Structure 1
Amino acid sequence: MKVLIVDDQYDQKIEEIIAQLKKQEITDIHHVMYTREAYQKMLSCEYDLVLLDLHIREDIGEEISTDAGSALLELIFTDDAVIRPKFTVGITSHEESYQENIDIFQKFGVTLHLFNSEPNFIDNILNIANRPSSGVKEYDVAIITALRHIEFDALLRNGSDWKELLTDDCNKYYTTTFVDKQNVERSIIATFCPKMGMPVASAVTMKVLNKFSPKLLVMTGIAAGVEGKVNLGDILAAELVWDWGSGKLEGNESESYLHADPDPIKMNPSLAIELRDISENRQYVDQIKYKWCGNSPDTQLSMHVGAVASGSSVLADYLSVDNIKKQKRSVIGVEMEAYGVLTAVSLVGKKPPETLILKSVCDFANPHKNDDWQKYAAYTSTSMAFEVISKHIDFS
C-alpha cells in the first residue's frame, strides 16, 4: 500500500500516524511538506491513501494557509493531469478549521477528520479504505432529484426494480437497470438532495460524478412554468439554464434592483435537437398522461425545449417572474437546482457526462400556487426521462 502524507510539519501527530501505519506493515510512506510538492507527486504516482492536512504551505518560503489543503483537494478531483488517489482523508487538529472546511470535503465525498491522537485512527481509516465497494462501480446513468418527498418517490414508483445500494456515504442511493435502444442492458444509480437549492444540488452532483462516473446525468422533478407558454404538468427540457439572481444588487433607502449578469450553460446541441424532435412529434406525451392514475389537468400534455432559470428562492409573486422574463424573454420555467447541477458537471475535470434536465410544471410561481399538481408533475418528468434514456441515447 502506497501512502502520501501532506503536512508541513514532522511533529507528534505525523509520528503517531506513521507509527500506526507501520504497525499495519505499511512502509511505502511518502511525506511532503508543501501542496505544490504533493501535486507534483500525484502527477506521476498513484497513491492508495492520501492524508491531507488543512494548515499547510503551498510552497517553500510561503506562509501557512488555512485553505491550501482544500485547494489541493479541489485539484485532486478537477485536474485531469492528477492521478487520483484511491482514498483521500482530510485531517486537522483545529476545530475552527474543521468547521470552515467540512462543506468542501463533503462536496467531494471525502472524510474530514478532527484528529485528537486517537490510537486507532489509522485502523479506522484503513478499514474504510479496504472495505468492499458493495456494488459501487461506474454506472451508465445517474439520476438526481431534489427532495425525497414527491420527486424521488415518483422515481421509485416508475415500475423499475429499484434496490438500495449500501455505501459509506451520507446520501441514499438506489440502483436499477434498463434496456437501451440497442437492446443492451444499462445500469442506473439514483439519489436525491437533502435540501433544496443550487449549492446542495451542486455538491451532490459532484459527489455522484466522482463516485460513479456516469455517461449520462439526468435531473428530474418539478418546476414553476411561465403562464401562457406552458400548461400544468408539461415537461420542460432545459436547453439553456442560468442563475437569475446572479449580478449586482443596488438600491437606496426605498428600493433595490438587480443588475443581472447571468452566465448561462447550454445543453449539448445534438441532444437538444433530439429532444425538439420528440417535442414536435408529440412522442410519448399522450401515453404518459393516459397511464396516470390520479387527477390530471384538463389541458393536453406537452414537452417544451427551452430556457429555464434557476434561483435560490421559492417564487409566488408576479413581479419576480416578470423580472426573470426581462433577463430572457424566451424563458419557459423557473426552478431551484439545475444551474448547480450543470455547474458541477462543468467543473468535474475528467470528461463530463452528457446532462439532461427534465422538470415538469406544478404551478406558475404566482400567489395562487398550491401543491395540487406536484405528484402529477413529478410523474410526467420521470416518465419522459425513462423514454428518452431508453430510446434516444446512444451509450456506445
Structure 2
Amino acid sequence: MRIIVLEDSDDKFERVARVIEEEGLRHEDIVRAKNVAAARALMSDEQFALLVLDVQVPMRDGESENSDGGVYLLKEILLDDACKRPSYVVGLTGVPEVYGNQSALFQRQGWALLEYSASSNQWSQSLRDFLRHIRRVAPDVTPLETADVVLLTALADPEFTALRRVFPELSGPHPIDGRTLSWRGDVQFNGRTLRVVAGYSWQMGLTAAGILAERFIARFRPKILAMSGICAGRRDKVGLGDVIVGTQSWEWQGGKIAESDGAAELLHAPEPCRAAADLVLSTRNLIAKPAWRAQLDEKYMQSSGTAWNVHLGPMLSGLSVVANGDVMNSIVRQHRNVLGLEMEAYAIYAAATFASTDCKALVVKGVCDFGDAGKDDSVQQVAAVRSAMVLRAILEEHTASFG
C-alpha cells in the first residue's frame, strides 16, 4: 500500500510517518510532498491508496504556507482527472478555526479531518484506526504505476537483448506478477524524460503476445505500446537486415476452411488492426531526413558495410513459423503490399485498439529471413538490433513532433 503525505513541517511529517510505520507499513511506501505542486505531480504519475495532508501548506516550493493549500488540492482532485484520486483521504490541521471551517468539505466526500496536536495522541490513534481499516478492507492493494511507453519483445534473445542494448537506461528485472518481469527506466527523448517499461514474452505467438500486452497495459496504462524484434520478409519487396514498420496487421490463417474440388481451401476474412497514424507519420518523417541511416549506424556502432532500408506496409501474423516458399507465396496474395510475416503484431495492435485506456501502438521488426527453407540465424542479431534502433529513433521523432 502506497501513501502520500503532504506536509511541509519536518517534525509533523516524522510524527505521521512514525505512526504509519508502526502500523506495519514500509518506510519506502511513504512518499512525501512539501507543497501542493509537488503533490499534484506525484499524484499525476501514481495512484496512491491514501493521501494524508496538512490543510495549511505552501502552494509551491519557496512560498509561505497557504491557509487553504490542502483544500485547493482536494478540490483539484475532485474536478481534474489529471490527478489520480486516492482511495482514501485523511486531513490534519492544528488550527481549531481551520478544523471548524473545513470539516464539512471532508465529511461530504466521506473523508476524515483530524485535529492535530503535538501534546495529544488522539489524532494519531484515529490515524491508526483508519490505517487498520484500510488494510482490512484491501490487504492486497497493488499500487497503480504508470508509464509513457511500454516496449515488448517476443523473445528474450536476440530480441530483448537487442532492445536493452539500444535502451541502456532500463534496469531490472522487477516482477509485476508471479509470471511476468519488467525492466524500467527514465529515457530522454529530445530533452523530454519519458517513463519507459519493457518486457518480453515467455513464448512466441499471438496468444502469449496478447496476454503479455494486456498485462502491461492494465498495470502501467501506457500512452504508447511498441514491439521490436525479428520477422520474415517478402523477398521481392525487402532485403535481409531491412526493417519493417507494420502499418496494419491481421491473422493470415483466419477465415473459413471450405471444400473446393474435393480439397480444403482457406477462405480468408481479414480483420486488420492498424498502427497509430501519428507514429506512422513520425516514421515517414524520420526516413525522409538525410543521412538518418548513417547516423543510427554510427550511434549504435553498427557496421555500415551493407545498405539497409526501412519499409512501411502490412505485416501479417500467424500461429506458426513459416519456412516454406510456397506457403509464403500463398500468404502474400492476401494483400499485394504485404511486406512481412511474424507471430505477434496483430495481437499487439488488437490489445491497444481494445484497451480500456487510450493507447497507441507500433510494431517494428527486422527482416532475418524470407520465410523459406534458407534461414540463416546469423542475421537475427543484426535484424533485432536494427529494429530496436529504428524504434527508438521513431519515438524520438514522435516526441519532437507531437510532444
- Shorter-chain TM range is 0.5 to 0.7
- The offset of 1:257, in angstroms, is 2.0
Which amino acid letter does the alignment assign opposite residue 140 of structure 2? I
8 Å Cα contact 2:255/2:267 also seen in 1: yes
**Residues in 2 aligned to 1:243 and 1:199: alpha-carbon distance in whole angstroms:** 12
| TM-score between both structures, scaled by the size of structure 1 | 0.63
- The offset of 1:331, in angstroms, is 0.6
Long gaps (5+) in structure 2: 2-48, 50-84, 88-134
Aligned match for 2:382, one of 334, 356, 376: 376
Q: Report the equivalent of 2:269.
A: 261
2:334 is the counterpart of 1:327: yes
Q: Report the equivalent of 1:174.
A: 183
**Residues in 2 aligned to 1:367 and 1:124: alpha-carbon distance in whole angstroms:** 60
**Residues in 1 aligned to 2:396 and 2:355: alpha-carbon distance in whole angstroms:** 25
Which structure has the larger Rg? Answer: 2
**Residues in 1 aligned to 2:266 and 2:280: alpha-carbon distance in whole angstroms:** 30
Which amino acid letter does the alignment assign opposite residue 287 of structure 2? S
8 Å Cα contact 2:286/2:397 also seen in 1: no
2:308 is the counterpart of 1:301: yes
- The offset of 1:193, in angstroms, is 0.8
Task: Name the SS of the counterpart of 1:287 in structure 2.
Answer: helix
8 Å Cα contact 2:175/2:182 also seen in 1: yes
2:322 is the counterpart of 1:310: no
Q: Report the equivalent of 1:353.
A: 359
User: 1:283-298 counterparts in 2 under 5 A?
Assistant: 284-290=292-298
Cα deviation digits, residues 110-136 of structure 1 (max 9, x gap): xxxxxxxxxxxxx9995432x6x4xx6
Which amino acid letter does the alignment assign opposite residue 215 of structure 1? K
Task: Name the SS of the counterpart of 1:258 in structure 2.
Answer: strand
**Residues in 2 aligned to 1:257 and 1:371: alpha-carbon distance in whole angstroms:** 32
User: 1:1-396 counterparts in 2 under 5 A?
Assistant: 127-129=139-141, 133=143, 137-158=145-166, 160-164=168-172, 165-181=174-190, 183-251=191-259, 255-281=263-289, 284-290=292-298, 299-350=306-357, 352-393=358-399, 396=403
**Residues in 2 aligned to 1:294 and 1:303: alpha-carbon distance in whole angstroms:** 16
Q: Which one has the bigger helix percentage?
A: 2
Cα deviation digits, residues 160-179 of structure 1 (max 9, x gap): 23211243341110011212
**Residues in 2 aligned to 1:142 and 1:160: alpha-carbon distance in whole angstroms:** 15
Long gaps (5+) in structure 1: 2-47, 49-83, 87-122
Relative distance call for 1:160 and 1:314 in structure 2 (3 A) is same
| TM-score between both structures, scaled by the size of structure 2 | 0.62
Cα RMSD after superposing both structures: 2.9
Which amino acid letter does the alignment assign opposite residue 210 of structure 2? S
Which amino acid letter does the alignment assign opposite residue 385 of structure 1? L
Task: Name the SS of the counterpart of 1:230 in structure 2.
Answer: coil
**Residues in 2 aligned to 1:247 and 1:331: alpha-carbon distance in whole angstroms:** 18
Which amino acid letter does the alignment assign opposite residue 284 of structure 1? W
8 Å Cα contact 2:278/2:398 also seen in 1: no
- The offset of 1:382, in angstroms, is 0.6
Task: Name the SS of the counterpart of 1:359 in structure 2.
Answer: strand
- The offset of 1:291, in angstroms, is 5.4
Which amino acid letter does the alignment assign opposite residue 166 of structure 2? N
**Identity fraction in percent:** 28
8 Å Cα contact 2:282/2:394 also seen in 1: no
Q: Report the equivalent of 2:43.
A: none
- The offset of 1:343, in angstroms, is 1.1
8 Å Cα contact 1:284/1:384 also seen in 2: no
Relative distance call for 1:124 and 1:311 in structure 2 (3 A) is farther
